[in-house]
């Protein structure tokens, strides 16, 4: 065996888990490739948050049938959130009998054993562990996002928003010990990483399960005390739990970026109640006010969806007015997708597909308009940018300022991983451009 390929479909959590799977695969002395034909092991690290992520995985796995027939020695593994969903492992097995290994999110650490067992015995393995209290930690990580690094602070979710599959595929909340998180971040900073993103499905619940209890703000303070120049980000927060203490912590620690991902989901109080979000539009707007009052020029981004069951035109308009009012620095916009096993799945009043489509187009148009206006505010400013990558398509380096805004600029030297000051010279559309000063 020489090569492996990994396909990733989901969120940052899923992306980071792929880095762990790569770490495990490289213990087998395999090298990464993008070529199905030469890969000896192909791993699909799936996502099931929306139907299209699931459909893409099914399509990609199905496309391997011919190659696997020609070369039965090739090992095909399917992991992640999709097989962890009730009934899906059996469904995958029935549709694609050529799959060699099926594993879930709770037993990612078992992947190494499963691959060993498969290599030794030639037999297929399905292992969707029910031990939802296990954490996928203490495995080698092959990082692929330098100068940024993801660090898990907790796993699972207890919130049960009625549209969301995550609590069913990722189990209950469990937190890593603060000292383990601090020591991981320390070693990343020492080895040259410049931006650390702390990950959890709902970071505001961090530490509630630990004894003694620790809260997320205290964890942030501890991490921000680590020596060296680096930026600290975190995601995601739940608006019901964000409080003054968190805002003060952002304000008082230079390393913590003035930026927060603050998913609203809907601008309608009636829909928010149906979603079990446990805040109203007014509560949410009050917290936006508090964040902006406490942290000067804080960047606020969001997730928002259209077409939740029973969403009326009036509810939808409430989302539009919210976007106009808040003027987010970025919004991830989604069409509600039915997920079996969730409460919303069996609600009445599912919105017709064409209505959903019309609504998403309007929503995106409004946010695009906001993006353009906010980009203009950057014109003439000089900001500190951490250089992420060279984009071969457009020929520019790309980096982000503390607020998370993507900025493009030229350089004759390779400056990936450096902090540079960039003066913004062009901000006509959504992308902004500048010159190093
Ligand atoms: N349909 C559409 N979007 C969803 N999200 C979560 N579940 C669904 C669903 N069933 C969105 C939410 C969440 C983001 C990660 O994905 O906006 O914040
Ligand atoms: Fe991430 Fe949720 Fe998709 Fe799983 S289902 S990969 S937790 S977005």
| Mutate which of 11, 19, 20 for ligand 2 pocket (most atoms within 8 A of beta carbon) | 11
Closest ligand 1 atom, residue 338 Cα: 10
Report the pLDDT averaged over residues 197-225: 97
Q: Mean pLDDT score of the chain, rounded to an integer?
A: 96
State how far the Cα of 128 lies from the Cα of 103, in Å rounded to an integer: 5
Q: How many Cβ atoms sit within 10 Å of the Cβ of residue 177?
A: 11
CATH number for region 145-257: 3.30.750.210
Token digits of residue 155: 């796993």
* Same fold across 145-257 and 382-436: no
Residue 430 has pLDDT above 80, yes or no: no
Residue 130 has pLDDT above 70, yes or no: no
Half-sphere exposure of 422 (CA within 13 A, CB side): 31
State how far the Cα of 215 lies from the Cα of 236, in Å rounded to an integer: 15
Q: Tens digit of pLDDT for each residue in 397-413? A: 999 999 999 999 999 99
Q: Tens digit of pLDDT for each residue in 262-276? A: 999 999 999 999 999
Whole-number Cα distances in Å, 171 to 155, 178, 354: 8, 21, 34
To the question of domain 259-376 being in CATH 3.30.750.200, the answer is yes
Angle 377-252-254 (CA atoms, 0-180°, nearest 5)? 60
State the DSSP code for 421: E
Q: How many Cβ atoms sit within 10 Å of the Cβ of residue 329?
A: 20
Q: What's the length of the chain?
A: 437
Ligand 2 centroid to Cα of residue 15, in Å, is 10
State the DSSP code for 350: P
State how far the Cα of 433 lies from the Cα of 382, in Å rounded to an integer: 11
Domain ranges of the chain: 3-127, 145-257, 259-376, 382-436
Residue 76 in contact with residue 61, Cβ under 8 Å?
Answer: yes
Is the shortest distance between the CB of 167 and ligand 1 below 6 Å?
Answer: no
Report the pLDDT averaged over residues 416-436: 93
State how far the Cα of 437 lies from the Cα of 427, in Å rounded to an integer: 17
State how far the Cα of 43 lies from the Cα of 48, in Å rounded to an integer: 16
Can you give the pLDDT at residue 287? Answer: 98
CATH number for region 3-127: 3.40.50.12160
Ligand 1 centroid to Cα of residue 50, in Å, is 7
In this prediction the pTM is 0.96
From the CA of 336, the nearest ligand is 1
Residue 132 in contact with residue 157, Cβ under 8 Å?
Answer: no
Which element (helix H / strand E) includes 115? helix 111-121
Closest ligand 2 atom, residue 166 Cα: 2
Residue 114 in contact with residue 125, Cβ under 8 Å?
Answer: yes
Can you give the pLDDT at residue 8? Answer: 97
Between 46-50, 60-64, 117-121, 129-133, the lowest mean confidence (pLDDT) is in 129-133
Strands (E), 68-144: 75-80, 101-103, 125-127
From the CA of 342, the nearest ligand is 1
pLDDT band, very low/low/confident/very high, at 71 (cuts 50, 70, 90) = very high
Q: Report the b/e string of 113-146 with b at 16+ CB within 10 A.
A: ebbebbeeeeebbbbbeeebebbbeebebbbebb
User: In CATH, which superfamily holds the domain spanning 382-436?
Assistant: Nucleic acid-binding proteins (2.40.50.140)
Token digits of residue 187: 């070693």
Closest by CA position to 308, among listed 267, 341, 261, 368: 267
Is the shortest distance between the CB of 20 and ligand 1 below 6 Å?
Answer: no
Ligand 2 centroid to Cα of residue 83, in Å, is 12
From the CA of 304, the nearest ligand is 1
Can you give the pLDDT at residue 156? Answer: 95
Residue 428 has pLDDT above 90, yes or no: no
From the CA of 11, the nearest ligand is 2
Q: Tens digit of pLDDT for each residue in 340-374? A: 999 999 999 999 999 999 999 999 999 999 999 99
Ligand 2 centroid to Cα of residue 82, in Å, is 9
Can you give the pLDDT at residue 126? Answer: 86
Ligand 2 centroid to Cα of residue 100, in Å, is 23
Q: How many Cβ atoms sit within 10 Å of the Cβ of residue 94?
A: 8
Q: How many Cβ atoms sit within 10 Å of the Cβ of residue 328?
A: 22
Residue 132 has pLDDT above 90, yes or no: no
Closest ligand 2 atom, residue 105 Cα: 4
Q: Tens digit of pLDDT for each residue in 243-264? A: 999 999 999 999 999 999 999 9
State how far the Cα of 41 lies from the Cα of 4, in Å rounded to an integer: 5
Closest by CA position to 154, among listed 220, 198, 211: 198
Residue 92 has pLDDT above 70, yes or no: yes
Largest Cα span, the chain: 64
Closest ligand 1 atom, residue 11 Cα: 15
Is the shortest distance between the CB of 303 and ligand 1 below 6 Å?
Answer: yes
| Mutate which of 303, 311, 338 for ligand 1 pocket (most atoms within 8 A of beta carbon) | 303
Can you give the pLDDT at residue 48? Answer: 97
Angle 283-288-294 (CA atoms, 0-180°, nearest 5)? 125
Q: Which residues line ligand 2 (CB under 6 A)?
A: 10-11, 13-14, 47-49, 81, 165-166, 169-170
Between 124-138, 145-159, 244-258, 418-432, the lowest mean confidence (pLDDT) is in 124-138
Closest residue by CA, ligand 1 atom 6: 164
Ligand 1 centroid to Cα of residue 239, in Å, is 15
Ligand 1 centroid to Cα of residue 225, in Å, is 34
Report the pLDDT averaged over residues 291-298: 97
Closest ligand 1 atom, residue 303 Cα: 17
């Amino acid at each position: 065996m020489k090569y492996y390929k990994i396909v990733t479909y989901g969120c940052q959590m899923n992306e980071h888990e792929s880095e762990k799977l790569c770490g495990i695969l490289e213990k087998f002395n395999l090298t990464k490739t993008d070529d199905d034909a030469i890969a000896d092991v192909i791993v699909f690290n799936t996502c099931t948050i929306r139907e299209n992520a699931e459909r893409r995985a099914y399509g990609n796995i199905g496309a391997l049938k011919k190659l696997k027939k020609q070369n039965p020695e090739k090992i095909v593994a399917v992991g992640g959130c999709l097989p962890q969903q009730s009934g899906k492992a059996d469904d995958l097995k029935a549709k694609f009998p050529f799959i060699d290994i099926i594993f879930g999110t709770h037993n990612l650490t078992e992947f190494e054993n499963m691959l060993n067992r498969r290599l030794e015995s030639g037999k297929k393995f399905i292992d969707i562990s029910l031990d939802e209290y296990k954490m996928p930690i203490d495995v080698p990580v092959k990082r692929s996002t330098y100068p940024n690094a993801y660090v898990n602070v907790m796993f699972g979710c207890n919130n049960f928003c009625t549209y969301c599959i995550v609590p069913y595929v990722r189990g209950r909340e469990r937190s890593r010990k603060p000292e383990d998180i601090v020591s991981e971040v320390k070693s990343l900073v020492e080895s040259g990483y410049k931006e650390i993103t702390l990950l959890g499905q709902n970071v505001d619940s961090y530490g509630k399960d630990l004894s003694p209890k620790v809260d997320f703000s205290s964890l942030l303070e501890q991490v921000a005390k680590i020596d060296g120049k680096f930026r600290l980000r975190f995601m995601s927060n739940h608006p019901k739990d964000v409080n003054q203490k968190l805002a003060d912590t952002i304000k008082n620690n230079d390393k913590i970026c003035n930026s927060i991902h603050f998913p609203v989901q809907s601008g309608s109080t009636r829909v928010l109640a149906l979603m079990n979000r446990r805040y109203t539009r007014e509560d949410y707007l009050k917290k936006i006010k508090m964040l902006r009052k406490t942290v000067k020029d804080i960047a606020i981004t969001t997730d928002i969806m259209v077409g939740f069951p029973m969403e009326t035109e009036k509810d939808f308009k409430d989302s539009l007015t919210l976007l106009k009012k808040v003027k987010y620095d970025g919004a991830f916009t989604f069409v509600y997708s039915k997920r079996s096993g969730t409460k919303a799945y069996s609600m009445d009043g599912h919105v017709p597909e064409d209505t959903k489509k019309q609504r998403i187009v309007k929503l995106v148009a409004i946010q695009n308009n906001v993006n353009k206006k906010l980009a203009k505010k950057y014109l003439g400013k000089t900001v500190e940018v951490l250089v992420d990558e060279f984009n071969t398509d457009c020929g520019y380096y790309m980096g982000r300022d503390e607020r998370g805004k993507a900025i493009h600029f030229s350089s004759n030297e390779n400056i990936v991983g450096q902090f540079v000051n960039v003066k913004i010279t062009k901000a006509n559309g959504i992308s902004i451009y500048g010159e190093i000063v």
